[in-house]
Chains A and B, each alone.
Chain A
C-alpha cells in the first residue's frame, strides 16, 4: 500500500535534504544547514524492545549478553542493551539491517511506545543540565550507561553514549505522547548552544567515531 505511511512522533521545522523510506516510514538522513553540532537527531524509527523475564540472564538478545548490573549498558553489533532492573532490559537497535522479530514471549516491541532521540556534540551535557538534575557525566562511570529519571519532569530512559570532551552524546526515550513538548523543551534549552536538528547520517557518523 503505497500511501500508507507510518509517522514519527518527532517533527522538526527544519527542511530535509536527504530522505529514505524504510518500512513505510520516511527517515530523514540530512537536514538543510546542519553544519556543526550540537545535534538533535530523531531516531524514533529505530526498533526497540522491552525484555522481561524472571531469569533475564538466560536471555541473550541476538547473541549478546545482557549486562548483569542494573544501570549498565552494552553496545554491540549495532544493538544497545540496557539493564533496567532485576527482570527487565531494553534493547535498542541502532545500526545495521533490520533484525528479525524475536520469537520469545519475553520480548515486547516498544518502538511506537516512545520517542527516541540522540543529543550529540560537545555541549550535550550543558544542554542536558538545563532540563534535568540527572548526572550524565559521572567521571567514574564508563559509557555507555543507563539512567532512568526525569528530563523536563518527564520520565525517561537515558543512555550516556560518550563523554569524551568533544565527543559527547546521549540517547533517550520518553513516552511518545510527550514528543512534541520534549522536542520543544530540548531545542529551547539548546538554543544558546546552537542546537539544531540533524538527520540519521550525522548520528551514524557519531556512532562510528
Chain B
C-alpha cells in the first residue's frame, strides 16, 4: 500500500522500517506506526472476530475505544493494537478466532443470533437443572476474549512513580496545554497527562486554519513547544489517566518508548487541583451492520491519512453529523480519496465555508440523510443511505464508510471523580453539573468548537486551578473570562442516535455484541433504566469501558422511552478507565521484609528461611523438618536461638509506672531490682493480646518486651489507653536497636561463663533474674534468665551492630560442648512440650486470660490505675461455655500428630487443635487445643477431624500439663 511520506502532520519515520509477524507471515511497518496502522498499511482489514457472533471486526476509532482491534501481541492477549506502538520483532495474532480472521469456523454464530436474545442465559438452559452445568462449560469455552496460558509469565519492566503537583491537567490538547501554561505562569508545579504519544489533541492532525494562515497542526506544535520550554510543566505522554480518588489523587499509566527504562509504569499523582480537558470522542452512528470492517469514525479515517500516511480506502461514503466530517471529507478528497457522497444527519447548520468548498470540489452533500445499512460479506462493499425518516434511499458502492453521529465528551475522568453529569439539550452532551472541589473542566468537552474559545476555556480553567493553590489570579482570570465570553460558545450538537432501522444487527456495543434489538428486548422485559439494561444485556461492560456505547445507551433508552428531558445518566464506569496490565499496577513490587542482625550468619549456617509477618526468619537448620537434632541438642546440651524479633521498648518518666499498670494485668509496682516480671496485656474484653517481661532499670525507667507480632502496635496501644490521663511518660521502640540471642540448654551457663567475668552462678544470677554486664569486656548485654524452651536459658539483649560478633563468640565458646543453632520450629516444639504459650497460636480474638490458664497473672488488688480489661476479667472468670486451653496426648501411642487447626468434634464443632507435634523428648505425640469447657477435664477423649479425612478420625485424650519438666527443675538448675 502506498503511503504519504511528505505530509507535515505525519508522526511516522518512513526511513526506519520495522519488521513484525502476523499469523506467521512477516510484514514491515515504519517507526511511529501503531500495530493497527502497520497492519492496515499491509492490507489487513479484519483484525479480530467479535465476542458472541464472531463477526469480522476492523479498524474503527484509532484510539482503542472498543475491542475491535484487541489482539494478541507477543503472547499477551487483549492488547489494544490501535494504541500500541510497533516494535521490531513483534508477533501479532488475531484473537477470538477459530481458523483465521478471514475464515473463522465459528462465523456461523452470527446466524444464531435469533437464539441469543438479551439475557438469554438467564432464561434458557436452566430446565432441567442438570443441563446447566453442561451448558456452562460450553458457554465458558466460547466466552471471553483472548487466552492466557496458565504458566504465562509477564515479561518486561513495570515501574511506578508517585509524583506530586500543584495542578494536574488531564488531556494534552489545546485546552489542556493552555490550562497547564496558565497554571505554570503562577509558579506552580504542573503535571500534564496525554494519552497519545504526543501533545496536540484534535488540533494535532488537522490542516484546517487556526488563525492568520497558521494551520491547526502547527498551532498544536507551537503550544507543545511552549509547554516543553516551561520548566514547571512536567508532561507525561502516552499516558492514560485511569482513576481519580479523594483529595485529587489521580492515577494513570504510561507506556514506555524506546528510550525509557520501563515498558509501562503506574503513575500516582497527588495534586491540589485538577483540570480535566479530555475533549470529545465521536458518538457512533447506529445502523445495520455498523461495525463491518471498512466502517470507521471520522478521526480514524482522517488520522490514518494525516498521522500515519495511509489513505483509509479508495472509494468512500461519509455519513456524519458534525463539521469535522465535512472537513475530513474535503481533506481526504484532496489527498486522493474518491468520495461518492457525504450524508449529513443535520438538515442545516453546517459551516457554510465547508459547504462551499465541497460544492466547488463537486463532493455531493445530502443533508438530512443517514447510512442505514452496510453491505458486504466480510468487509464493506456497498452502503445504503436514506432520509432521516426512511422515506427514500440510495445505494453506493464503496470500500470505506466514514460514520459518526456527532461528538460526545470524554467524561470518564469526571465520572470516576464522582462528578454529576446531566444531559444538555443544546449541545447534546452530558455536561458536568457539580464538579468535585478543586476540579475544573475545560475545552471541547464543554461543547466548544471554536479553536480560540477552546484555548481560552483551558486558560481560564488553569487559572482557576492556580487560585485553588493560593495564587492571586483575579486580574488574569477576569481577562480570560472576558476573552471567553467574546468568543463563540458551545455549539448545537447532533442528538441523533439511530438511523431508521429495525436494529437486528445494529450494534450499540461492539465489545459485547449487543444490538439495538437486544436493548429493545430488555426494555420490553421491564428494564427501563440504562444502568439495569447494561447489566441485563452486558452492553458497555467490555474492555472499551463503555467508550462506544457509553453515551449512546442512555440516549437511545431515553429516546425509545420518549423521555422528553433525557433524565437518563451515563452508566457507571469505574477505574481503570482503559485496560491496564495487572503487572503495571503491581509496579516494581519491592518485597520489603525485615531481617535480623544474624541473617547472614544464619544463612551461612544452612538456615531455611520463612517469611513470618514482616520478618524473614530461620525456621529450620536442616532438611529434617521435625528438627530432631536441634531439639535434642537443646534438651541435652546447649543451643543458640535468634530471638531478635521480640518487641523491645524503653518507657520512662514520672508516670511510666502508671502507664504500665494500666496495660499489664499484673502489679508492676512489685518489680524487684535485678528481677524480671512476666505479665500479660488484655483488651477491654479480657482477651489476651500479648505477654512479655518488664524490667526496672532505674528510677521511673523500665525496659519491657512484647511478642514479635505486637511489637509494631505496643507504643500506640499504651498511648491509646492513657490518652485521657495527661500522664508524663515517654517511650522508645528499641526492637531493632537490640538483638536477642537465647542461649538455652543444660550447658548454657558453662558457655556464658567462658565469655564474661560476671558471676552467673545460680545463686548470683538465679532464675527470673536480670543482669547487665559485658561480654569479653566489650559487648554490653542485658541478660534475662528465662526458660521459654523449658531449659536453663539466658536471653542476651545486645546492640544490633554487635550481634554477629556476640553470636560468633558464643559459638566459639560453646564449640567444646557441641553448641548448635536451633530455629523457630525447634523452639516451637520445645516450648510446646513445656506448655509455654505463644499468644496468637494458642489464643484467638475471643480467648481470655482465664481461658489459657494465665488468670493467676491478674492482680485484682491494683487500685491506683484501672487496668485495661479488669472489669471483663471479673465477668469472664467464671463464665460458662468458653473454649479452654488444654494439653492432649494421642489415644493410641502410635498415632500420628493431627494437623494444626484440625477441628475437635462430637455432633458439633467443639474446638480445634492449636499445635500438635511428635515429641522426640517425650517419645509421643502431644499437643495443645482450645476446647469446649465440657471437654477440658483431664482424661476426656477428643475426636479430631482433619480436612478431607472422610470418615476417618483421630482420637486424643486431655492430659496434664506441662508435659515436660512439670516441676520446673531444669529452668532453675
Interface residues of A (CB under 8 A from B): 1, 3-9, 11, 24-25, 50, 52-54, 87-88, 105-106, 108-114, 129-133, 135, 139, 152-154, 175-182, 184-185, 188-189, 191-192
Is A176 a contact partner of B268 (Cβ separation < 8 A)?
A: no
Is A6 a contact partner of B615 (Cβ separation < 8 A)?
A: no
Closest A-chain residue to B655, C-beta based?
A54
Bound Cα distance from A7 to B776, whole angstroms: 17
Which residues of A are found within 8 Å of B609, using beta-carbon distances?
none
B91 at the interface (CB under 8 A from A): no
Closest B-chain residue to A132, C-beta based?
B162
Closest B-chain residue to A153, C-beta based?
B592
Is A108 a contact partner of B650 (Cβ separation < 8 A)?
A: yes
Is A184 a contact partner of B596 (Cβ separation < 8 A)?
A: no
Is A6 a contact partner of B799 (Cβ separation < 8 A)?
A: yes
Q: What are 17 A-to-B residue pairs whose CB atoms are below 8 Å?
A: A4-B805, A5-B805, A7-B597, A7-B801, A105-B698, A112-B799, A112-B800, A113-B733, A113-B736, A130-B162, A135-B270, A139-B187, A152-B592, A177-B596, A181-B590, A181-B592, A189-B588
A133-B162, A133-B270 given. 11 additional CB < 8 A pairs?
A1-B778, A52-B732, A88-B730, A108-B650, A108-B734, A110-B732, A130-B162, A133-B164, A176-B800, A177-B735, A181-B591
B344 at the interface (CB under 8 A from A): no
Q: Which of B590, B728, B737 lies in contact with A176, CB distance below 8 A?
A: B737
Bound Cα distance from A161 to B777, whole angstroms: 39
Closest A-chain residue to B262, C-beta based?
A192
Is A114 a contact partner of B736 (Cβ separation < 8 A)?
A: yes
B163 at the interface (CB under 8 A from A): yes
Interface residues of B (CB under 8 A from A): 159-164, 187, 189, 261, 268, 270, 588, 590-597, 599-600, 614-615, 650, 652-653, 698, 701, 728, 730-738, 776-779, 799-805, 809
Ranked 3 nearest A-B pairs via Cβ: A177-B594, A113-B737, A133-B162
Q: In the complex, how many angstroms separate the beta carbon of A192 from the nearest chain B beta carbon?
A: 4
Is A185 a contact partner of B592 (Cβ separation < 8 A)?
A: yes
Which residues of B are found within 8 Å of A4, using beta-carbon distances?
776, 778-779, 802, 805, 809
Which residues of A are found within 8 Å of B777, using beta-carbon distances?
1
Is A180 a contact partner of B599 (Cβ separation < 8 A)?
A: yes
Is A175 a contact partner of B594 (Cβ separation < 8 A)?
A: yes
Is B163 a contact partner of A129 (Cβ separation < 8 A)?
A: yes
> Which of B162, B591, B776, B779 has the most CB atoms of chain A within a 10 A radius of its CB?
B162
Total A-B residue pairs with C-beta atoms closer than 8 Å? 124
Is B736 a contact partner of A7 (Cβ separation < 8 A)?
A: no
Which residues of A are found within 8 Å of B600, using beta-carbon distances?
11
Q: In the complex, how many angstroms separate the beta carbon of B215 from the nearest chain A beta carbon?
A: 36
Bound Cα distance from A114 to B805, whole angstroms: 19
Is A6 a contact partner of B728 (Cβ separation < 8 A)?
A: no
Which residues of B are found within 8 Å of A180, using beta-carbon distances?
595, 599
Is B801 a contact partner of A129 (Cβ separation < 8 A)?
A: no
Closest A-chain residue to B777, C-beta based?
A1
Bound Cα distance from A3 to B755, whole angstroms: 14
> Which of B588, B731, B801 has the most CB atoms of chain A within a 10 A radius of its CB?
B801
Q: In the complex, how many angstroms separate the beta carbon of B656 from the nearest chain A beta carbon?
A: 11
Bound Cα distance from A4 to B701, whole angstroms: 30
Closest A-chain residue to B600, C-beta based?
A11
Which residues of B are found within 8 Å of A154, using beta-carbon distances?
592
> Which of B594, B650, B776 has the most CB atoms of chain A within a 10 A radius of its CB?
B594
Is B734 a contact partner of A113 (Cβ separation < 8 A)?
A: yes
Which residues of B are found within 8 Å of A139, using beta-carbon distances?
187, 189
Is A54 a contact partner of B270 (Cβ separation < 8 A)?
A: no
Which residues of A are found within 8 Å of B653, using beta-carbon distances?
54
Which residues of B are found within 8 Å of A189, using beta-carbon distances?
588
Is A178 a contact partner of B590 (Cβ separation < 8 A)?
A: no
Q: In the complex, how many angstroms separate the beta carbon of A76 from the nearest chain B beta carbon?
A: 24
Closest B-chain residue to A125, C-beta based?
B163
Which residues of A are found within 8 Å of B162, using beta-carbon distances?
129-133
Bound Cα distance from A206 to B947, whole angstroms: 62
Q: Given A177-B596, A185-B590: A24 and B730 within 8 A (CB)?
A: no
Is A1 a contact partner of B596 (Cβ separation < 8 A)?
A: no
Is A135 a contact partner of B802 (Cβ separation < 8 A)?
A: no
Is A130 a contact partner of B161 (Cβ separation < 8 A)?
A: yes
Bound Cα distance from A105 to B728, whole angstroms: 13
Bound Cα distance from A31 to B163, whole angstroms: 31
Q: Which of A24, A87, A108, A192 lies in contact with B778, CB distance below 8 A?
A: A24
Bound Cα distance from A58 to B805, whole angstroms: 39
Bound Cα distance from A185 to B590, whole angstroms: 6
Is A176 a contact partner of B736 (Cβ separation < 8 A)?
A: yes
Q: Which of B159, B698, B730, B804 lies in contact with A87, CB distance below 8 A?
A: B730
Is A177 a contact partner of B728 (Cβ separation < 8 A)?
A: no
Bound Cα distance from A1 to B777, whole angstroms: 8
Is B590 a contact partner of A188 (Cβ separation < 8 A)?
A: yes
Bound Cα distance from A185 to B738, whole angstroms: 24
> Which of A50, A112, A131 has the most CB atoms of chain B within a 10 A radius of its CB?
A112
Bound Cα distance from A181 to B591, whole angstroms: 7
Closest A-chain residue to B164, C-beta based?
A135
Q: In the complex, how many angstroms separate the beta carbon of B815 from the nearest chain A beta carbon?
A: 16
Which residues of A are found within 8 Å of B161, using beta-carbon distances?
129-130
Which residues of A are found within 8 Å of B698, using beta-carbon distances?
105
Bound Cα distance from A119 to B779, whole angstroms: 31
Q: Given A108-B650, A113-B737, A154-B592: A7 and B732 within 8 A (CB)?
A: no
Q: Given A5-B805, A130-B160, A130-B161: A177 and B736 within 8 A (CB)?
A: yes
Q: Which of A3, A11, A133, A184 lies in contact with B268, CB distance below 8 A?
A: A133
Which residues of A are found within 8 Å of B596, using beta-carbon distances?
177
Is B593 a contact partner of A185 (Cβ separation < 8 A)?
A: no
Bound Cα distance from A6 to B594, whole angstroms: 19
Bound Cα distance from A2 to B597, whole angstroms: 20
Closest A-chain residue to B806, C-beta based?
A4
Bound Cα distance from A92 to B803, whole angstroms: 23
Which residues of B are found within 8 Å of A110, using beta-carbon distances?
732, 734, 737
> Which of B261, B730, B734 has the most CB atoms of chain A within a 10 A radius of its CB?
B730
Bound Cα distance from A17 to B588, whole angstroms: 32
Which residues of A are found within 8 Å of B802, using beta-carbon distances?
4, 6
Which residues of B are found within 8 Å of A175, using beta-carbon distances?
594, 735-736
Which residues of B are found within 8 Å of A132, using beta-carbon distances?
162
Q: In the complex, how many angstroms separate the beta carbon of A186 from the nearest chain B beta carbon?
A: 9
Q: In the complex, how many angstroms separate the beta carbon of A166 from the nearest chain B beta carbon?
A: 14
Bound Cα distance from A108 to B653, whole angstroms: 13
Q: In the complex, how many angstroms separate the beta carbon of B496 from the nearest chain A beta carbon?
A: 46
Closest B-chain residue to A25, C-beta based?
B801
Q: In the complex, how many angstroms separate the beta carbon of B717 from the nearest chain A beta carbon?
A: 17
Bound Cα distance from A178 to B809, whole angstroms: 25
Which residues of B are found within 8 Å of A8, using beta-carbon distances?
801
Q: Which of B159, B701, B737 lies in contact with A130, CB distance below 8 A?
A: B159
Is A191 a contact partner of B595 (Cβ separation < 8 A)?
A: no
Closest B-chain residue to A114, C-beta based?
B736
Which residues of B are found within 8 Å of A52, using beta-carbon distances?
730-732
Which residues of A are found within 8 Å of B599, using beta-carbon distances?
180
Q: In the complex, how many angstroms separate the beta carbon of A4 from the nearest chain B beta carbon?
A: 5
Q: In the complex, how many angstroms separate the beta carbon of A53 from the nearest chain B beta carbon?
A: 7
Is A9 a contact partner of B268 (Cβ separation < 8 A)?
A: no
Is A191 a contact partner of B730 (Cβ separation < 8 A)?
A: no
Bound Cα distance from A114 to B161, whole angstroms: 25
Q: Which of B652, B731, B737, B778 lies in contact with A105, CB distance below 8 A?
A: B652
Closest A-chain residue to B650, C-beta based?
A108
Which residues of B are found within 8 Å of A54, using beta-carbon distances?
653, 728
Q: In the complex, how many angstroms separate the beta carbon of B570 from the nearest chain A beta carbon?
A: 31
Which residues of B are found within 8 Å of A109, using beta-carbon distances?
737
Bound Cα distance from A6 to B799, whole angstroms: 9
Bound Cα distance from A25 to B799, whole angstroms: 13
Which residues of A are found within 8 Å of B809, using beta-carbon distances?
4
> Which of A8, A110, A133, A179 has the most CB atoms of chain B within a 10 A radius of its CB?
A133
Q: In the complex, how many angstroms separate the beta carbon of A25 from the nearest chain B beta carbon?
A: 7
Bound Cα distance from A209 to B799, whole angstroms: 34
Is A7 a contact partner of B804 (Cβ separation < 8 A)?
A: yes
Q: In the complex, how many angstroms separate the beta carbon of B305 from the nearest chain A beta carbon?
A: 37
Is A50 a contact partner of B594 (Cβ separation < 8 A)?
A: no
Is B736 a contact partner of A112 (Cβ separation < 8 A)?
A: yes
